[in-house]
Structure 1
């Protein structure tokens, strides 16, 4: 269940109440007259089934509440109510399968911004990857995978493509296009410094190592990227964020960037090119799979909403 709070201009409150009271997925309706100060208006609250949220929000946006009032959603961890149980049963579809599109847009939009925090995490992840390469430490490579923040912009690109939100695609694309080169450039400086001070040398990459999978491109590179992209988008759209950790440690994006830098500094150009190709395959595969999953979920949600009545009448 989700808790909805809407600030409504007084002349639209009756229509807001009509939207909520008529929908089978809404319950626990509360109205507090003249409670809102900025923006001024009435406060309307309700608990809604997750699978009904998208339709209810769309109906409230038709009333321009997003421009002349406000709409907020919060997750309810526990709801002890027969009315809430009925709302979830009567709402179309299943809660775990429901996508709250405005929530998804807000989440991916926030995570796709190019800012100091994003660049810092990506740079630290690339530096960790470089250390993992020169020390042949799979544990450090996994750490770099977890620290890397690149899935946020990749998911945003997929969401933007499916919803045709080109502003989101541009913003996320900018974060990736600037973030990876910047992180790799800083990692390049650290790698050159490490070689100059004798922390490692070309012998670090010669022979067989546990981390050689990073630059070895094959069919499984694309397969893993597709599976990770699908799992990541399923996690984001179903609010099961714990699964994202598995996504982070299954794709070779940041490790490939770090390996490419180390290999370039040590003049191992074959391995450098292989790492860059690995990086591109993973980035593209994640976006493609995430977009496909999003399109399938959107189609399934629309089908579910037409199969069951939405109004109480």
Structure 2
């Protein structure tokens, strides 16, 4: 339930009471004794679904928008009459006015926003370098990215240009700050005793996950956008949803910053693509769902104008996502090809171990060097094998070529194969 309190200007009390009576809601009138221009305070308990139509009726009746109308959440209403009102006004979403106010509250002051974002990025960067999923998720609790992501979309839908511009600005500048912070942290840590000599960021699983994203990563961003809108319009689970949105944005942004610190353009490209796709997808989902939820500007003459802007933004977002998805699709295919070659090599070697032609040999270790970029540059995968043989045995001169031909047949690609033969004796 909500408690709507209207500070009624002098001369407007009758129209407020008439509106409440026509809406079928109860009210109480308190005489205003202040020195201001208000003559009374009218308190009206209503269900959440009744707030927006009631405020619309007040505006239609001519109540001056410069007057105060306060909407507060009532935790408990002790009255059987509340059930009748709830049954008359069905719905689960909050009013447009509440939505706008909550979106503004979710976009904190710039100083607070950037302090929390920098702290979150530092923690997330440390979690990436430590390969600690728990640390990364913990950092997301601090990240304040949910507010700007939703504020921008709410501002567009309800025709609040200031709110929309603030949301976009905080997102763009915030992600740039996150990348720069991670790059600075990486530059300061690189070459220190805190990291092993020759530390390669691409070998860390948590980082590798962000630089080899698949098209499935879109589901995380789209799901985060849906959850963000639902939590906002129904006022549930905002903390957990904020974590989901932050997970979609901060870790890949921090990964891109580490790519800058280590001078790895491929890391910057793939992680940067991921964070941009996630950002755009969250905004796209929020815009569409807010409009489909029925939110509109309260001035009916502005609806067509807002719809035109909304449609333009959706088209731009879709085009941008489609372009970036080409990179995402390329990464998905390249990752699949490298994994497929390694799998096929391993499977074929296991088969060769069981064949009579290689009865005296056992292929024990295999190393496949085939990077994502090699798929598109045409470089051959390099396969290094370690084969055990009984002491004194001599293999044919073309043995490595025979192994290579078998592996090339299995993988369907040209390979550079090195076979290392080791004389081995094993005790009975």
TM-score by length of 2: 0.64
Do residues 49 (structure 1) and 44 (structure 2) align?
Answer: no
Unpaired runs of at least 5, structure 1: 301-313
Describe the shift of the 1:192–1:207 C-alpha distance in structure 2 as closer, same or farther (beyond 3 A).
Answer: closer
Unpaired runs of at least 5, structure 2: 297-428
Counterpart of 1:309? none
Counterpart of 1:66? 65
> Relative to structure 2, which stretch is displaced further, 203-212 or 281-290?
203-212
Shift, 1:160, TM fit: 2.2
Shift, 1:36, TM fit: 4.5
Query: 1:58-137 alignment to 2 at 5 Å?
Result: 58-62=56-60, 63-67=62-66, 69-91=67-89, 93-94=90-91, 96=92, 98-112=93-107, 115-137=110-132
2:219 to 219, 223, 235: 223
The RMSD of aligned alpha carbons is 2.2
Query: 1:179-190 alignment to 2 at 5 Å?
Result: 179-190=174-185
- Residues 156-206 of structure 1: per-residue CA shift (max 9 Å, x gap): 111123233333221111112222223332333232222253322652514
Do residues 150 (structure 1) and 145 (structure 2) align?
Answer: yes
Query: 1:1-313 alignment to 2 at 5 Å?
Result: 1-24=1-24, 26-27=25-26, 29-38=27-36, 40-62=38-60, 63-67=62-66, 69-91=67-89, 93-94=90-91, 96=92, 98-112=93-107, 115-200=110-195, 203-207=199-203, 209-240=205-236, 242=237, 244-246=239-241, 248-249=243-244, 251-298=247-294
Counterpart of 1:308? none
Larger radius of gyration: 2
Q: Which secondary structure state, in structure 2, belongs to the residue aligned with residue 107 of structure 1?
A: helix
**Is the contact made by 1:260 and 1:273 (CA closer than 8 Å) also made in structure 2?**
yes
Shift, 1:73, TM fit: 0.9
**Is the contact made by 1:214 and 1:275 (CA closer than 8 Å) also made in structure 2?**
yes
TM-score by length of 1: 0.86
Distance 1:40 1:117 in 2: 36
Q: Which runs of 4+ in 1 moved over 6 A?
A: none
Distance 1:38 1:131 in 2: 56
Shift, 1:52, TM fit: 0.7
Describe the shift of the 1:37–1:194 C-alpha distance in structure 2 as closer, same or farther (beyond 3 A).
Answer: farther
**Is the contact made by 1:2 and 1:50 (CA closer than 8 Å) also made in structure 2?**
yes
Distance 2:295 2:191 in 1: 56
Counting matched residue pairs gives 293
Shift, 1:255, TM fit: 0.8
Structure with the bigger RCO (C-alpha within 8 Å, sep 6+) is 1
Describe the shift of the 1:113–1:249 C-alpha distance in structure 2 as closer, same or farther (beyond 3 A).
Answer: closer
Q: Which secondary structure state, in structure 1, belongs to the residue aligned with residue 229 of structure 2?
A: helix
